[in-house]
Amino acid sequence: MTAQEQRLERLRDRVEQHVQSIYHDNPLHADLGGLTDQLLALMRLDGTVAMPRQYANHWSERDAIVITYGDSLLAEGEKPLATLKRFLDQHTAGLVSGVHILPFYPWSSDDGFAVLDYSSVNEALGDWQHIGAIAAEYDLMADLVINHCSSRSLWFENFLKDQDPGRDYFVTASPDMDLSAVVRPRTSPLLWEVKTARGTQWVWCTFSHDQVDLDFRNPEVLKQFVSIIRHYLDNGVRLFRLDAIAFLWKIPDTSCLNLEETHEIVRLLRTLVEHARPDALLITETNIPNRENLSYFGNANEAHCVYNFSLPPLLLNTLVTGDCAYLKQWVMSMPPAQNGTTYFNFLASHDGIGLRPAEGLLSDEELGVLIATMQGFGGHVSFRALEDGQSRPYEINIALFDALQGTVRGKDELGMERFICAHAIMLALEGIPGIYLHSLLGTRNDYERVKHTGHSRAINRHQWRMPELETALADPHSSHGQVLARLKELLAVRRRQAAFHPNATQFTLHLGGAVFGFWRQSMDRRQSIFCISNISDLPQQLNLLDINLIEHHQWMDLISGEHYTSRDQQLTLAPYQSLWITNLPDHAAP
């Protein structure tokens, strides 16, 4: 047997173990060996097989991702995907490594997350050539909307007609079943009554009645998604965001959240994807309490990256209260990501600021104060259903720039500095940073879009007309231009520092409630960076002795360029000022 044949045999054995774990008691598919071969063939792994390196870090300090819808930027006579690439080339080239384009497929609702056809690009945005042009210049992240699809998709229409493909693709349940334990992110009824060729059926809808949950107990559904992944790889996708993955597998009388079969499917997809393209990454989107979220790392055999969902609400709470105690406590509790895994850090996205990841970290009273503060800044609140039929706040819907326009005492004149401080903290933390396009541009709350769509999340999904945006960016007095310029400066500095590698060492500093700090050290131990931020609206005093600078090193602040000549130098931090104090001159940092 040749070495290649041996590798292929080992891969086949590994995939079959995944398949056995998922479907060992499934009557729908007895030929599990045949299923293994079909999956390998669909991923085109039945010939030459790439060999991924275990625990390899396919990222560095040079990585940062822009998060955006495909049509957030509009120009007359130009497809939005072409406009997006033009903006990235002109304003972020050399500063960001990749772009997450939110669902760019034909869809029926939820701004793309009710997919009609996974194999096509929405014609209103562009085509696969536009996607390929972006993927040729940037690491492309795409959504694998894997838990559900549109009720107007061909699959669901075939389900109604009792035809293939789609006949047995969707989860059904009896309305008499006790489903009270099922965790819900929405308040709509879980089951939806539909008329089919087989009579009345009740289909499972975790999110909305236009988003019908797919039944992965049927291996045909798994095969469809493996084929979709291969198609995306062929079109340049490198990072796969597994949307709503925590809800994937359903077992009555359970929460139907984070079930073992769900984790095993993630492990299977990782095995297939990394053998097809060794530097491809899986990122799990699991907007759930922190401990559950971390479980998707597995033993470095599930997600390469997990969203740091607790960061947005905790950092927001820190900056509006002027007290970093909870943020510090959480950062200290986070385990260092082992090689081959890392965190995906973000402060804002197309969704709201999730509150579930803050459960157990902030009290109900503290969450209530945060919610009331955000409502005072024009934010809305979305709710989820509880077992007893009651509802609970699920997320705050607000543009981040508006969310940081004041404190719990109300609005003030320090919003810009508070906003930049938030990003200076996020960019320095262990992990890969993701910056929402509307944060990069300092976009404000879009009340007209909320009114037009009827959805609270639209408040942070503005569409910029390019002439208007270009005018704003060219105006030195515009907050939009100032935000972009200052964030670009931070990005430019960050990518030159080895101590900002996503897996570089991180330790939390104890500098009081109003000053948040942590220490990063490069993996070769040459560079140290002390990341210190005044998270209050008052000046704060800092003695360099408090951060234990090594005496024989020369130290400087990477942000201001100031050099420090004495270890016992006393500094006054302006409200929301951040320092990145390093022992290596910026130009000498690797």
127 is in an annotated binding site: no
480 is in an annotated binding site: no
| Whole-angstrom distance, CA of residue 149 vs CA of residue 145 | 7
235: its two tokens: 């079109």
243 is in an annotated binding site: yes
| Whole-angstrom distance, CA of residue 489 vs CA of residue 574 | 19
241 is in an annotated binding site: yes
| Whole-angstrom distance, CA of residue 535 vs CA of residue 432 | 22
242 is in an annotated binding site: yes
| Whole-angstrom distance, CA of residue 168 vs CA of residue 195 | 15
| Whole-angstrom distance, CA of residue 10 vs CA of residue 21 | 17
| Whole-angstrom distance, CA of residue 562 vs CA of residue 269 | 48
Catalytic-residue membership of 243: yes
| Whole-angstrom distance, CA of residue 362 vs CA of residue 317 | 9
546 is in an annotated binding site: no
391 by Cβ neighbours in 10 Å (0-12 / 13-18 / 19+) ranks as: middle
Return the number of other C-beta atoms located less than 10 Å from residue 337's C-beta: 21
The helix or strand, by DSSP H or E, that contains position 74, with its residue range, turns out to be strand 73-74
Q: What are residue 423's DSSP bridge partners?
A: none
Given CA atoms 10, 14, 20, 23 in this order, what sign does their dihedral have? negative
Catalytic residue among 71, 143, 213, 243: 243
| Whole-angstrom distance, CA of residue 431 vs CA of residue 337 | 8
| Whole-angstrom distance, CA of residue 33 vs CA of residue 29 | 10
Contact between 103 and 149 (Cβ < 8 Å):
no
148 is in an annotated binding site: yes
524 is in an annotated binding site: no
Residue 165: is the preceding peptide bond cis (ω within 30°)?
yes
Q: Where are the alpha helices (DSSP H) in 322-412?
A: 325-333, 364-376, 400-403
Q: What are residue 556's DSSP bridge partners?
A: 563, 582
Binding residue ranges: 110, 148, 241-243, 350-351, 457
> Catalytic residue numbers?
243
Binding residue ranges for substrate: 110, 148, 241-243, 350-351, 457
